[in-house]
């Protein structure tokens, strides 16, 4: 097992005067992949091995990686996808736990014919999903993990109950036809162009979005227990932790990981 290595030297973020190249492609449906009677939205760019798969933070869609994806795609096949209920994917039909997210991801890899080996990049809650998948998947050939401000099963966010209460209030407002909450901003995105801004506004008006977001938070203790039970040495899987969710730091860490594979 490789211990987590902070990438302190890569934390400088570059200000962007315009949206990242190719951001508009993430603002709507691309390739919708069957995951057992439902479909998840996926977008890939670039070519070469390993394949880099991005896992968004809690309550967020794959478009969050719009500033990181183009840089990684210059060196490898890079794919983002929307978990159930987010972006252009179908709604959730079960609790949004890390184990269920991992099952969907396994279907997505197989049915989209994605070729390994894989490097998984996860932010916050997405880092829990990525780790659980790497520890429990069979035959997926995960060779690397880049964990961005990762949540840990034994150190969940102290304000998680307050976050859930806020999301449930947003869900209630949306159910009454009076959406009152916006899609939250993220430093990973870089500059937001009009197409993505419109997609995020539309997302915040959907009941299915707030239900999925509430389910991830409501299932957080279950997810923590699932990861706790799966926890074991990573063995040959290389692991890097990024302490700040900034595009330049994340891109640098991923490229460093690719150089190590």
Give the 3-state DSSP-derived string for the chain, with helices as H, strands as E and coil as C: CCCCCECHHHCCCCCCCCCCCCHHHHHCCCEEEECCCCEEEEEEECCCCCEEEEECCCCCCHHHHCCCHHHHHCCCCEEEECCCCCCCCCCCCCCCCHHHHHHHHHHHHHHCCCCCCEEEEEECHHHHHHHHHHHHCCCCCEEEEEEECCCECCECCCCHHHHHHHHHHHHHHHHCCCCCCCCCCCHHHCCCCHHHHHHHHHHCCCHHHHHHHHHHHHCHHHHHHHHHHHCCCCCCCEEEEECCCCHHHHHHHHHHHHHHC
| Tens of each residue's pLDDT in the chain, 261 residues | 444 444 333 333 333 447 777 789 999 899 999 999 999 999 999 999 999 999 999 999 999 999 999 999 999 999 999 999 999 999 999 999 999 999 999 999 999 999 999 999 999 999 999 999 999 987 689 999 999 999 999 999 999 999 999 999 999 999 998 878 999 888 887 789 999 999 999 999 999 999 999 999 999 999 999 999 999 999 999 999 999 999 999 999 999 999 844
- Confirm if 168 and 211 have CB atoms less than 8 A apart: no
pLDDT for 178 equals 85
Rounded distance between C-alpha atoms, residue 224 and residue 195, angstroms: 35
8 Å CB contact between 111 and 82:
no
Work out whether strand 118-123 and strand 78-81 pair parallel, antiparallel, or are unpaired: unpaired
What the chain holds in terms of domains, given with CATH numbers, is 8-260 (3.40.50.1820)
Integer-rounded Cα radius of gyration of the chain: 17
pTM score, two decimals?
0.90
């Amino acid at each position: 097992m490789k211990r987590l290595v902070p990438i302190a030297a890569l934390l400088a973020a570059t200000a962007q005067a315009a949206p990242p190249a190719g951001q508009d492609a993430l603002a709507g449906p691309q390739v919708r992949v069957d995951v057992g009677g439902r479909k998840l939205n996926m977008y890939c760019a670039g070519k070469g091995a390993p394949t880099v798969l991005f896992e968004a933070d809690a309550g967020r869609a794959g478009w969050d990686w719009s500033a990181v994806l183009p840089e990684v795609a210059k060196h490898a096949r890079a794919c983002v996808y929307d978990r159930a209920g987010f972006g252009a994917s179908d709604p959730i039909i079960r609790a949004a736990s890390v184990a269920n997210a991992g099952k969907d991801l396994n279907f997505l890899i197989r049915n989209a014919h994605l070729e390994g080996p894989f490097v998984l990049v996860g932010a916050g809650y997405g880092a829990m999903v990525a780790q659980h998948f790497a520890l429990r998947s069979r035959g997926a050939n995960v060779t690397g993990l880049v964990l961005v401000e990762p949540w840990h099963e034994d150190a969940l966010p102290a304000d998680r109950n307050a976050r859930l209460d806020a999301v449930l209030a947003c869900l209630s407002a949306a159910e009454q036809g009076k959406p009152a909450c916006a899609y939250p901003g993220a430093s990973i995105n870089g500059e937001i162009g009009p197409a993505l801004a419109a997609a995020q506004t539309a997302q915040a008006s959907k009941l299915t979005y707030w239900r999925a977001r509430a389910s991830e938070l409501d299932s957080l203790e279950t997810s923590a227990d699932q990861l706790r039970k799966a926890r074991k040495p990573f063995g040959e899987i290389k692991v890097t932790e990024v302490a700040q969710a900034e595009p330049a730091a994340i891109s640098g860490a991923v490229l460093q990981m690719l150089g190590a594979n």
